[in-house]
Amino acid sequence: MMAYTTRTATPATAGPGTAAPSDDPGLDRILADPGISATAKLVVIALCRNWAWYKDHCWPSDATIARAIGKSVGHVQRCLHELESAGIIRRDRAGLSGRTIVLLWRSAPARDDPPSAQIDLPSPTSEPPAPARDEQRDEERKNQTLRNVPDIPPTNPTSPAPVNTTTTPRVAEVAEPVADEIKAVGPGYTPEQTRRLATRIATALGDVGSLGFYIATIAKVVTGTISRDCLIAAYKAGVGAVGKAQKPGAIFVWTLNNYVPPPKPSEIRYHQQRTVVNPPVDGPSPEDRAREIHELKTMAGDPRHPFQRVAQKRLVELEGNHPPTPPSIG
């Protein structure tokens, strides 16, 4: 008689790739919230299952999260922004190339977080449905471009301010403070100042995904590889293209690579007007007149010369005599 054994289930050990913990009421509320998009919920599950586990923080990159859930990097970035705006996560910077994602519903009140980080998740029925992807992306770009623009009150409180449909004044207001900050870049510029300035440039151009490129560009200005005037010209050209070009960052890069510094005042050659006084014209000298008469007589005496008749007329004017009779041929 054969003996059969049964396999009993054993609890899984904590580690990457295992299931998310079941005793997480905050995660259950997030998954039941209709105001959070399905992909954003998938990102939350991936953070808990693959990296955070029972902890309240983890540090995967956007590309790593995208590979884990089968989405693009841009889609993951929009979902992280959605979760951060909803108060579910917080992204902390660590140095120039690090980032930590904090799961705020697991964060203990004893942490040294600001009061805004201690969140209370809303009820599932209190939030409206998430906007469409295109509307959300357009709204994010608009907020990033006009984040640092102050509101200008009307001059007359009794009458409403006129509506300005052009973006030129607002672009100028955004460009000038950053341009003044670029002028202060030089030796001794700290990494924190570099990242803050690069973030402001990337935000104004609507190109936050290329933050590393702007950090490297400012680092070249610090080391003297690129001049400050070149960076200011590229930044103003990029900000001026916001709302007109599809990729203002491309305008920034083109201006940066093709910048030609203006000539110095000492190198400018100004046109000097000179007045030329014509010398007085005197009549021909006796020697010149005698030489001319001799040449004219030679031409007038040659019946085969093409200018014989012209020479004869000229001799009449000079001497007042009749031209000599040309000899007959044959």
For residue 326, the model assigns a pLDDT of: 52
For residue 274, the model assigns a pLDDT of: 64
Q: Tokens 């610090």 identify what position?
A: 222
Give the contacts of 21 (CB within 8 A, at least 6 positions apart): 48, 53, 54
Nearest to 101, CA basis, from 59, 40, 141: 59
Q: What percent of the chain has pLDDT over 70?
A: 63
Predicted confidence (pLDDT) per residue in 13-63, tens digit: 444 444 455 678 888 889 989 999 999 999 999 999 899 888 888 989 999
Is domain 25-130 annotated with CATH 1.10.10.10?
Answer: yes
b/e 135-164 (16+ beta carbons within 10 angstroms → b): ebeeebeeebbeeeeeeeeeeeeeeeeeee
Residue pair 33/128 in contact (Cβ under 8 Å)? The answer is: no
Predicted confidence (pLDDT) per residue in 258-286, tens digit: 888 887 777 776 666 666 666 656 667 88
Res. 117 pLDDT band, cuts 50 70 90: very low
131 pLDDT above the threshold of 60: no
Residue pair 174/148 in contact (Cβ under 8 Å)? The answer is: yes
Predicted confidence (pLDDT) per residue in 59-77, tens digit: 899 999 999 999 999 999 9
Question: 30 or 94: whose pLDDT is higher?
Answer: 30
Question: 147 or 9: whose pLDDT is higher?
Answer: 147
Q: How far is CA 131 from CA 71, 78, 85, 137, 144, in A?
A: 19, 12, 13, 10, 18
For residue 43, the model assigns a pLDDT of: 93
In angstroms, how far is the first alpha carbon of the chain from the final one? Answer: 156
Rounded Cα–Cα distance for residues 146 and 149 (Å): 5
For residue 123, the model assigns a pLDDT of: 45
Rounded Cα–Cα distance for residues 44 and 102 (Å): 11
Q: What percent of the chain has pLDDT over 90?
A: 12
Question: 309 or 114: whose pLDDT is higher?
Answer: 309
Res. 330 pLDDT band, cuts 50 70 90: very low
For residue 146, the model assigns a pLDDT of: 53
Low-confidence winner among 2-6, 43-47, 143-147, 268-272 (lowest mean pLDDT): 2-6
Give the contacts of 101 (CB within 8 A, at least 6 positions apart): 47, 52, 57, 58, 59, 60, 80, 89, 90, 91
- Over residues 171-184, the mean pLDDT reads 70
